[in-house]
Amino acid sequence: MTRLSVNINKIATLRNARGGNNPDVLRVAQDCERFGAQGITVHPRPDERHIRRQDVRDLKPLITTEFNIEGNPEPQFVDLVLATRPTQVTLVPDSHEQLTSNHGWDTRANLAFLTDVSARFHEAGIRVSIFIDADEQMADYARRAGADRVELYTEPYAAAYAADRETAIAPFVRTAEAVRQLGLGLNAGHDLSLQNLAYFHERIPWTDEVSIGHALICDALYLGLEETIRRYLAQLQ
């Protein structure tokens, strides 16, 4: 079964825009679980423009499903992850200036660095996922770095889906098959939505987890959070 992990960064963005604690990030995370989500994802960035480091600490004892913390493994991020010990850490090569994630790791060029970071997280009992583009070689070097899983950066699939979904999914199927042959777990995320998720899952049903935030929260503005999560879960059946 492919698990749905809800990225709650956008809830924190809305809270931070006004100050105070409305909406309540902790309550929304618990509600997502109550409505059927099988995981919660956060992506704390150095400027804390959405999820704050204190949010991460406060969420850890409340999450009853899987807790996934993603981000660039700079020293401050590494310390936060080791202090909170989530189920999974997803390593993402974000720069400070990036609005959102827009590419995966060059795992070959960064092999030594990723190997060292992965080992530190494994020592703490944390599952390691490395964010990559749809590229079989990047998956192979993620395995060499010690990753337990890779997360496929799916924005190129989402962008090309409407024009030609078969062409859009092809490199992701090839990479997913290579990932399976390498013995790695498989996650996916970025711009997956109610429009394109079902086909992605149909073609790559062995995906372990999808992490969805922006589209899901946008849908919830119209459908409500509970109904939105129900619909996303239905795409994974």
Residues annotated as part of the active site: 43, 70, 190
Q: How far apart are CA 69 and CA 207, in angstroms?
A: 19
Rounded to the nearest 5 degrees, what angle is found at the Cα of 200, between the Cα atoms of 199 and 206?
Answer: 120
Q: Which residue has the tokens 């079902």?
A: 198
- CA dihedral over 202, 203, 208, 212, signed as positive or negative: negative
Nearest to 41 by CA among 74, 85, 5: 5
Pairing of strands 66-71, 39-42: parallel
Q: How far apart are CA 16 and CA 10, in angstroms?
A: 10
Helices 111-123 & 136-144 angle (0-180, nearest 10): 50
Q: How far apart are CA 2 and CA 94, in angstroms?
A: 26
65's tokens: 């499903």
Q: Report whether 176 contacts 208 (CB < 8 A).
A: no
